Amino acid sequence: MSSISPFVAIRRDLHKIPELGFQEFKTQQYLLRYIHTLPQERLEIKTWKTGIFVKVNGTDPRKMIGYRTDIDGLPIKEETGLPYRSEHEGNMHACGHDVHMSIALGLLTHFAEHPIKDDLLFIFQPAEEGPGGAKPMLESEIMQAWKPDMIIALHIAPEYPVGTIATKEGLLFANTSELFIDLKGKGGHAAFPHLANDMVVAACSLVTQLQSIVARNVDPLDSAVITIGKISGGTVQNVIAECARLEGTIRTLSVDSMKKVKERIEAMVDGIKVAYQCDAEIDYGSMYHQVYNDPGLTAEFIRFAEDYPEIRFIRCKEAMTGEDFGYMLADIPGFMFWLGVDSPYGLHHAKLAPNEAAIDQAIAFLTAYITWKGNK
């Protein structure tokens, strides 16, 4: 019978119980139960909403190193068919936060048992997928009192083989803004369109128009994305829809482009109001600061990764993904990096299945890096 490592077993337990942002109650309980099994001599544990801070007191601290993991899942119905698939119907760890948490627990376990000179702060952060836990956690009294001198985090990368670390100095992830547009016209009988204002037609036209913003209004060398991930509207097949709602996200590499994209969206929505004789409201939901890696710390980490025997390092390009860890990096020097997990299905896919061999390998690599950095 094959046996799995304790942190793979933890990942599977966590995989079964994905919870959405700020509802991570079972996840928090699971994490706390585990953390309380560790030697407690050097640990200080504080909860914050559904998140957790764990400080590991060093033996001769000169600085504090922060390590952040996100803990929330997504509203995606899992289709992996795995024996440890989600037990929370309609939710899934489809962005790898289960893997992120198990690696964080692996590191915490090591350093609770083998403290280094410097203090460590482990941050188990809720709501990365939305509405964003990093910013309020950073502003919390706890983190203002326990403010790390540097901070790091990883994200799984399905497209890279296990054993790969990828990152770059400077900009790594985009600026993001959610986008919700509500359209309200006039419902009516399907056979009498001239007596109604059809919001399904207005919504379809708006979605198509929005695509032209990236193609025609943004400098091609300054990338942007507008994705509408969900459209809803109407009630039944033979009634003209009075209301429709578009739900999406905007990504830009520069802050200026984000401003420009929003101005163009607002102009187009004004146009839809006139053309389709309807009301419309725009809500930008939550916005995330770009992820900008500290050049010096990242370059040093890259050298460490390049010299580490079992790691293949790739200097990657920036990506249009968003991460509220960007708020932490805007305040505390540090960096984020990709960890290869080799899945044929990508992030946010219902069949995402990370190769679990990456977990113990990442724990070993990061243990070596943090030990080196925290004893320097």
Ligand X SMILES: CC(=O)N[C@@H](CCC[C@H](N)C(=O)O)C(=O)O
Residues that bind ligand X (CB under 6 A): 95, 129-130, 155, 176, 178, 249, 288, 321-323, 347
> Helix/strand/coil (H, E, C) string of 166-233?
EECCEEEECEEEEEEEEEECECEECCCHHHCECHHHHHHHHHHHHHHHHHHCCCCCCCEEEEEEEEEE
First-last CA distance in the chain? 43
Catalytic-role residue among 19, 24, 70, 356: 70
| Annotated binding residues for Mn(2+) | 95, 97, 129, 155, 348
**Pairing outcome for strands 312-315 and 164-167:** parallel
Beta bridge partners of 70: 125
| Annotated binding residues | 95, 97, 129, 155, 348
Q: What SS3 class is residue 165? A: strand
Report how far Cα 19 is from the mean position of its chain's Cα atoms: 14
Please give the structure tokens belonging to residue 193. 């369109």
**278 closest CA partner among 211, 201, 192:** 201
Give the shortest CB-252-to-ligand X separation in angstroms.
Answer: 11
Q: Which is nearer to ligand X, 128 or 356 (CB)?
A: 128
87 is catalytic: no
Please give the structure tokens belonging to residue 56. 């590991």
Q: Which is nearer to ligand X, 184 or 348 (CB)?
A: 348
Give the shortest CB-72-to-ligand X separation in angstroms.
Answer: 10
247 is catalytic: no
Q: Which is nearer to ligand X, 11 or 97 (CB)?
A: 97
Give the shortest CB-100-to-ligand X separation in angstroms.
Answer: 10
The string of DSSP codes covering 39-60 is --TTEEEEEETTEEEEEE--SS
Give the shortest CB-173-to-ligand X separation in angstroms.
Answer: 7
Give the shortest CB-178-to-ligand X separation in angstroms.
Answer: 5
Q: Which is nearer to ligand X, 154 or 366 (CB)?
A: 154
Vertex 301: Cα angle to 171 and 118 (nearest 5): 115
Buried b (16+ CB within 10 A) or exposed e, 30-56: bbeebbeebeeebbeeeebebbbbbbb
Catalytic-role residue among 129, 182, 198, 294: 129
Q: Which is nearer to ligand X, 194 or 317 (CB)?
A: 317
Point out the residues that are catalytic: 70, 129
